[in-house]
Amino acid sequence: MKNVINNAKKGILMVALFATVISFAKEVSFNIINEAGRTTLAILNVKRGNLLSIKDNNGVTLYKETIDRSGTYTKGFDLTSLPDGAYFFEVDKDVEIRTIPFTVKSSIVAFNKEKTVVSFKPVLRIKDNRLLITKLALGLEPLKIKLYYETNKYGSSSFDLIHSEEIQGTKTIERAYKLDKNAVGLYKIVFTSEDREFVEYFKI
């Protein structure tokens, strides 16, 4: 197994990915209606399995829901009972996360759509023993990549780090890695960007 790990380390080659950047899904559009004691949120172009959350300014999740129907999501919320402070809706889709901030003060809810932020997730595609990674970083935010390989030692499995790098200073991140065909097994890749962590597992 040790030889497999060594081969995997030697077999990783970083090459320029000249293919055009991945075509991202339609941009989420939304509408908010504030009425007495009730806020109605409507989000277009959602998919079943997308996540909707309400979080406070410290990132603590106050509400979480898995959207069960594709199309337009509409729901009313009573946000007036929240303590005074800053909050945000978070819409977690396939390749993007959109945050919609709002404030509560003396039971009055206020939204500022201009402060809505869209963050793009890294996208991993696997073709044979090649890993293709793309990500939009419109704010030049860096992306950290850590690749691990599963090993079995003394009857228990663990993941050993076999490659690590940080990419920054570009709006379109594109990477391709080639793994040793003999290093078959389970891999884990961890992406870190904008204080968020994304983890994926794959086999070759």
Cα→Cα distances 124→34, 133, 162, 194, Å: 39, 5, 17, 18
Using pLDDT thresholds of 50, 70 and 90, give the confidence band for residue 26: very low
What is Dmax (Cα atoms) for the chain?
67
For residue range 81-132, list pLDDT tens digits in order. Answer: 999 999 999 999 989 999 999 999 999 999 988 899 999 999 999 988 899 9
What integer pLDDT is reported at residue 22 of this predicted model? 34
Q: With beta carbons less than 8 A apart as the criterion, state whether 125 and 77 touch.
A: no
Radius of gyration of the chain measured on its C-alpha atoms: 21
pLDDT higher than threshold 70 for residue 5: no
Q: With beta carbons less than 8 A apart as the criterion, state whether 115 and 122 touch.
A: no
Using pLDDT thresholds of 50, 70 and 90, give the confidence band for residue 29: confident
Mean pLDDT of the chain: 85
| Cα–Cα distance for residue pair 76/36, rounded to 1 Å | 12
9 φ, ψ (degrees, to nearest 5): -65, -45
Helix (H, G, I), strand (E, B) or coil at 185: coil
Using pLDDT thresholds of 50, 70 and 90, give the confidence band for residue 13: very low
Cα→Cα distances 78→68, 169, 192, Å: 21, 42, 34
Using pLDDT thresholds of 50, 70 and 90, give the confidence band for residue 189: very high
| Cα–Cα distance for residue pair 200/191, rounded to 1 Å | 9
Percent pLDDT > 70 in the chain is 86
